[in-house]
Amino acid sequence: MIGLRLKLARAAAGLSLRELEARMNKLVTAQAIGKYERDEMMPSSTVLMALARILDVTEEYLLNPADARLLSVEFRKHKLTSAKENAVVRARVLSEVERYLQIEQILRLDVADPTVEKKRVVHTLDEVESAARHLRDEWQLGNDAIPNLCELLEAKGIKICAVSLPAKISGVQATIDTTDDTRLPVIVVNADHPGDRQRFTIAHELGHMYLDVRRDLDAEVACQRFAGAFMVPAEILRREVGSSRRTITVRELFGLKRLFGVSAQALAYRAKDLGILSQAAAASIFRLFSARGWRTQEPLEWPKERPARFERLCIRALTEGLISESKASELLQKTVMEVVQSMDEPPDESIDGRSAGF
């Protein structure tokens, strides 16, 4: 039965039943497509091939039963503008995670429980700082900058998906409910945002997973502070710039951006939060950034965070003969030729996760 998969693929493509009918040149009616989605009818082979082609999925994908369902998505600060937009995002998230679960099952990997411990109760921003420090200690990160945040969190059992989202949405949280009653946390980051913004977003969403923010503290403010503390430990920032400054130069900020992989603006905020900069000094820096047009697009853009574990698992399964080239193509959403060629090429990034020219 193809109902759930077909509905998911149509939603991910952002098409209504009528729009899909039109795209198929009325090979089949909207009413018939609705019946396919309700598993009241099965399409003919000709219709199945047309559906797969238009929805940019394989016929095998449509014919296989779904392995997971999306339990919830948190949009918090910014809401999506329409029910259709909501459905598109939910479908894309579920499609990404479902393919991830497929390859883990093929390789017989245990879907590990995330190693983020029980939520940590925080009442003040000082407690948020301590919570970020505690989690870094728990994960044995020391004071070092984190070269690849996706790799770190995926190693801890947290799924990361990079999905095109509306520009106003930096990231969302989702919970995936699988067919074996396992619940998996997922952090979804906007694939179209710069890498430094993606990294801060992922750390912010980690804060929402890790912190139990009590009523006397704003949750968004707390998670922003958590993201700053987790990505830029106070000790190392003070070591690099000092514990009290009248101002910090643009060159210093962008040098620190290359070190930590967060925006220069986030670093200025972090220096203000730690009392290294006064409110007035930080405001002066932000005015300079506004004058130069850097509040929306900074120089020295950090490479995008790209979850890599899923691709590695697919290549491993293909190399070990556990999946065919066509199945790898379906999972990776690349052509067979692209998959085969990529196996004998290094990744686009350098070893530390930065682009070769950065």
pLDDT category of residue 123 using cuts at 50, 70 and 90: very high
Share of the chain above pLDDT 70, in %: 88
CA 91 to CA 312: how far, in whole Å? Answer: 24
pLDDT category of residue 67 using cuts at 50, 70 and 90: low
3-state secondary structure of 49: helix
The answer to whether residues 127 and 236 belong to one domain is yes
The answer to whether residues 60 and 124 belong to one domain is no
- Mean residue pLDDT across the chain: 85
Give residue 3's domain range. 1-66
End-to-end CA distance of the chain: 49
- Domain stops at, among 241, 267, 291: 291
What's the pLDDT tens digit per position in 193-231? Answer: 999 999 999 999 999 989 999 988 999 999 999 999 999
Indicate if the pLDDT at residue 302 is higher than 60: yes
pLDDT category of residue 147 using cuts at 50, 70 and 90: confident
DSSP string for 83-97: HHHHHHHHHHHHHHH
Q: In what order do the strands lie in the sheet with 159-163?
A: 68-74, 171-178, 183-190, 159-163
Indicate if the pLDDT at residue 250 is higher than 50: yes
- Domain stops at, among 276, 291, 306: 291
Say if 82 falls within a structural domain. no
- Domain stops at, among 256, 271, 291: 291
Say if 146 falls within a structural domain. yes
For the ranges 27-36, 181-190, 289-298, 312-321, which has the lowest average pLDDT? 181-190
The answer to whether residues 37 and 182 belong to one domain is no
The torsion defined by the Cα of 256, 259, 262 and 263, in degrees rounded to 10, comes to: 40
What's the pLDDT tens digit per position in 153-183? Answer: 988 888 888 888 878 788 887 777 776 677 7
Give the sign of the dihedral formed by CA 156, CA 162, CA 163, CA 166: positive
Indicate if the pLDDT at residue 32 is higher than 90: yes
Which pTM value belongs to this model?
0.80
CATH classification at residue 46: 1.10.260.40
pLDDT in the model for residue 144 = 84
Say if 330 falls within a structural domain. no
Cα 134 to chain centroid distance, Å, stands at 24
Share of the chain above pLDDT 90, in %: 46
What's the pLDDT tens digit per position in 71-87? Answer: 666 665 556 667 777 77
CA 91 to CA 12: how far, in whole Å? Answer: 5
Indicate if the pLDDT at residue 356 is higher than 60: no
DSSP string for 153-195: HHHTT-EEEEE---TT--EEEEEEEETTS-EEEEEEEETTS-H
The answer to whether residues 139 and 274 belong to one domain is yes
pLDDT category of residue 352 using cuts at 50, 70 and 90: very low
